[in-house]
Structure 1
Amino acid sequence: MENKISKRVIFMISGAMDSILGAVALLIYFNILPVDLDIPRWVLGLIGALLFFSGIIVFAYFLSKPENE
């Protein structure tokens, strides 16, 4: 049982970190954080949006998943 709980926590931390990294990328994309990168802005926006939304989905899934499975 301890192994399943620790896997759940690890996936929740991973989802939270993905959404934080995606949010930072989106802040750079919308020029709220003034960082100049050598990649096109649309690529940064796409990567940021994918990381942000996939991280939220993973975090929400493992947060709402029952513990007895």
Structure 2
Amino acid sequence: MIGSGEIARSDMGYDYMCRTQVEVRLKGPVGGFLEKSLGNHLALVPGKVSGYLLELSQLLGVEPVLID
């Protein structure tokens, strides 16, 4: 899943959730994220790396899931 956004809050302290908690403000529509999300755990990478991830997915023969 490839998209852009920024961290709005972190370490919210909800005991019933994962210990690593981040609230993200997506640049694209949130509906796309909700429709295409495959699970609850995602990797967040700092910087503008979408182009690199798209290139890597092509090299690996993996269909990228875009949310922007």
Range of TM-score over shorter length: under 0.3
TM (norm. structure 2) is 0.26
Q: Give 1 or 2: higher strand fraction.
A: 2
Greater C-alpha Rg: 1
From the two aligned structures, give the one with the greater helix fraction: 1
- Compute the TM-score of the two structures, normalised by the length of structure 1: 0.26
